Amino acid sequence: MGKMIYLDNAATTKTAPEVVQAMLPYFSEYYGNPSSIYDFAGKSKEAITKGREQIAEVLGAKKEEIYFTAGGSESDNWALKATFEAYKAKGNHIITTKIEHHAILHTCEYLEKRGAKITYVDVDEDGIVKLDELEKAITPETILISVMFANNEIGSIQPIKEIGRIAKEHGVLFHTDAVQAFCQVPINVDECNIDMLSSSGHKINGPKGIGFLYIRKGVKIRSFVHGGAQERKRRAGTENVPGIVGYGAAAARANASMKERTDKEIAIRDHL
Ligand SMILES: *Cc1c(COP(=O)(O)O)cnc(C)c1O
């Protein structure tokens, strides 16, 4: 095989060598279960805290608002299904768009079969969600607006700040699938009134099978995976310590190089 030029970085990215290096000791040297009580396990626990801090920093979030999952799909499923369940008393209506990732669209189909009412808002010729249509769709039964930050196929970046403002004005929760935006464009969860945000490690030169859901303090959604008391009792399962270490390292790396990378990618795109 000749030299390969890989251009499918929206599907997945190569794990950065320094990310792999950061992860390695947590497979073979510091393999303790973070929930164990002896000193050796403390190393794993510290590593999780560091990863959580590295990620929270990128979003202007508190580290306690970051919940590690097994990837973007799980985070999207959790946000939608758990909101539907937790806010049933208020209503059953969710607003999303026609251009979401399957992790959102197929979850919406699943919820429709269980009594949810879903509005799929259209986008304009540039792939930008129609804000007037979105605002008009809100009813007293609306519990959630879920709009992706950046599209994985056409790259359109949505007016997230505006959507966050609309959601807040109407007292509706706002979730964004930011898998293609985290560490690619600046995001501040407070400025954008984001209540929940999904992300995934392998789209930013981190490992596969690790993601997180940012959940703003006060949002009442419950656990989606039941079992142990990990992740503040909201996501059971022994933590993916090497994955979290790699994710944190990848986020710090990608966030620091955001402008430089973007300028380079724009230049390559324009040239092509
Ligand atoms: C890749 C992707 C996902 C799924 O993430 P996984 O970690 O692969 O489950 C969800 N949403 C968008 C926009 C994506 O690009």
Indicate the fold that domain 17-29+37-271 takes in CATH. Answer: Aspartate Aminotransferase; domain 2 (3.40.640)
For residue 42, report the distance from its CA to the centre of ligand 1, in Å. Answer: 31
If pLDDT is split at 50, 70 and 90, which confidence band does 2 have?
confident
Task: Give Cβ neighbours of residue 225 (< 8 Å, ≥ 6 apart).
Answer: 235, 236, 237
Q: Is the minimum distance from the CB of 242 to ligand 1 under 6 angstroms? A: no
Give the separation between CA 144 and CA 155, rounded to whole angstroms: 24
For residue 205, report the distance from its CA to the centre of ligand 1, in Å. Answer: 14
Digit-coded pLDDT (tens) for 193-212? 999 999 999 999 999 999 99
Q: Is the minimum distance from the CB of 180 to ligand 1 under 6 angstroms? A: yes
The beta strands (E) that lie in 53-141 are given as 66-69, 93-97, 117-121
**Per-residue three-class SS string for 49-61:** HHHHHHHHHHHCC
Digit-coded pLDDT (tens) for 137-178? 999 999 999 999 999 999 999 999 999 999 999 999 999 999
Give the separation between CA 128 and CA 1, rounded to whole angstroms: 40
Residue matched to tokens 């390559």 = 268
Mutate to test the pocket of ligand 1, among 203, 240, 247 (most ligand atoms within 8 A of CB): 203
For residue 179, report the distance from its CA to the centre of ligand 1, in Å. Answer: 6
For residue 56, report the distance from its CA to the centre of ligand 1, in Å. Answer: 19
Mutate to test the pocket of ligand 1, among 97, 183, 200 (most ligand atoms within 8 A of CB): 200
Helix (H, G, I), strand (E, B) or coil at 131: helix
Give the separation between CA 239 and CA 83, rounded to whole angstroms: 23
Q: If you take atom 3 of ligand 1, which residue's CA is the nearest one?
A: 72
Determine the average pLDDT of the residues in 220-241.
96
Residues 180, 37 contacting (CB under 8 angstroms): no
pTM here is 0.97
pLDDT of 242 strictly over 70: yes
If pLDDT is split at 50, 70 and 90, which confidence band does 9 have?
very high
Give the separation between CA 227 and CA 205, rounded to whole angstroms: 30
Q: Is the minimum distance from the CB of 177 to ligand 1 under 6 angstroms? A: yes
Digit-coded pLDDT (tens) for 83-134? 999 999 999 999 999 999 999 999 999 999 999 999 999 999 999 999 999 9
Looking at residue 1, its pLDDT comes to: 64
